[in-house]
Amino acid sequence: MSIKRLTALSLVLVIVACSDQQAKAKPHFVYKDSPKPGVLAKIGGEEITEETLVGDDKLDFFELKKKEYELKMERLNKLLVDKLIGAEAKKAGMPLEEYMDKKVTQGEMKISDKDYNKFVKDKHIPDAQITPQIKERIQAYMKTQKKQEMVEAYVAKLTKNSPIEVYFAKPRMQVNVEVGNSPFFGKSNAPVTIVEFSDFQCPYCGKAAETVTEIKKKYGNKVKIAFKHFPLPMHKDAKPASEAAMCVNEQGTEKFWKFHDKLFKNQDKLDTASLEKFAKESGADTKKFDDCVGTKKFKMQVEKDLEYGEKIGVKSTPTFFVNGQLISGALPIDSFSEIIDEELTSKN
């Protein structure tokens, strides 16, 4: 290495070292036990509560707690298999893998054409996209899911009369979400209120709309489902679609939900002509609809929904609050049913 290069390298190391020393300067922290529940720190004699520390980022903190809980449950379920089914395998004088194959999942797993076709239909996978390799992957995935269900059923049987004691709680977060004058399905005094923040151009919201339909069918008037608009900046057609939806809602909530369904089923057709067509098909008077859209009558309401969502911490779509409890993303109905059933039970 030349002296010139060595000198340059030495200079870089000095700069890095000096910068590093400067970066290490930080506030002086002393770690102690909290003087009282809920207090996390003290600044200048002022006690800082968890609520103050978290501030407007409570949804982010909740998501972290939820991920920690889910990881713990995943590990706990793995231990259930290792210990409970492992004990059964030991009694039978078999290695765990052999016992699982012969007694739990019962050998070679087969996927019927009926189940395969139903899966493809439910997941809206176009026939043109299914190559032999894709079909093989789908079937492999279905086999894995089916095996997992059989393992869970076996563990459920083993723990029926000997439940597992769990000493960590599922995180809960209650957010007081106001329905206001948002369109809603169901009775106003239903025991469970679901408030959805959604975007008509968001593909995940389209999947979530199908789940909302399932919830309506399953729970009927036991749930009240309110729709709030949260059009994202990258979706140029979302905000006009939201304004149009409110113009339809002005002519009847039932018409709104029909319009709502049509938009989510035709997310690639949200131009002005298509919105008018869908409004007419939903039973709306087209002249009243055109006048409403033309004057941007509900522009401010859509903006207020967006601002309100941001205020309570909504950052993505779809976001749901089930009696104030957060569900983020296009999750299956089971994720909703778990909370809904708990809430219905607690109300009885």
Q: Can you tell me the mean pLDDT for 162-176?
A: 89
The reported pLDDT for the residue numbered 253 is 95
- 29: tokens are 């922290």
- Are 345 and 260 in contact by the 8 Å Cβ rule? The answer is no
pLDDT over 90 (residue 76): yes
Q: What is the pLDDT of residues 138-159, one digit of tens each?
A: 999 999 999 999 999 999 999 9
Nearest to 332 by CA among 183, 223, 213: 213
Q: What is the pLDDT of residues 231-277, one digit of tens each?
A: 999 999 999 999 999 999 999 999 999 999 999 999 999 999 999 99
**Coil vs helix vs strand at 197:** strand
- 91: tokens are 């009694």
pLDDT over 60 (residue 318): yes
The C-alpha atoms of residue 54 and residue 218 are separated, in whole angstroms, by 36
Domains with residue ranges and CATH for the chain:
59-158 (no CATH), 184-347 (3.40.30.10)
Residues facing residue 303 across a β-bridge: none
Determine phi and psi for 43, rounding to 5 degrees: -120, 115
Q: Can you tell me the mean pLDDT for 195-217?
A: 95
The reported pLDDT for the residue numbered 5 is 53
- Within 10 A of 334 (CB to CB), how many other CB atoms are there? 8
The reported pLDDT for the residue numbered 56 is 75
pLDDT over 90 (residue 8): no
Q: What is the pLDDT of residues 208-235, one digit of tens each?
A: 999 999 999 999 999 999 999 999 999 9
- 316: tokens are 């993505």
Classify residue 255 as exposed, middle or buried by CB count within 10 Å of its CB (0-12, 13-18, 19+).
buried
Q: Provide the whole-model pTM.
A: 0.73
Amino acid at 220: G
Strands 46-49, 39-43: pairing is: antiparallel
CA distances to 21, 207, 249, 298 from 264, in Å: 56, 8, 16, 20
Does residue 239 come out as left (phi exceeding 0), alpha (psi in the -120 to 50 range) or beta? alpha
CA atoms within 13 A on the CB side of 74: 6
Higher-confidence residue of 17 and 235: namely 235
97-131 CB burial, b ≥16 within 10 A, e <16? eebbeeebbeeeeebeeeeeeebbeeeeeeeeeee
Determine phi and psi for 243, rounding to 5 degrees: -65, -40
Q: Can you tell me the mean pLDDT for 33-55?
A: 90
Nearest to 186 by CA among 283, 254, 245, 282: 254
- Are 279 and 244 in contact by the 8 Å Cβ rule? The answer is yes
Contacts of 105 (CB under 8 A, 6+ apart): 147, 150, 151
pLDDT band of residue 346 (cuts 50, 70, 90) is confident
Amino acid at 225: I
Determine phi and psi for 112, rounding to 5 degrees: -75, 160
Element (H, E) at 39: strand 39-43
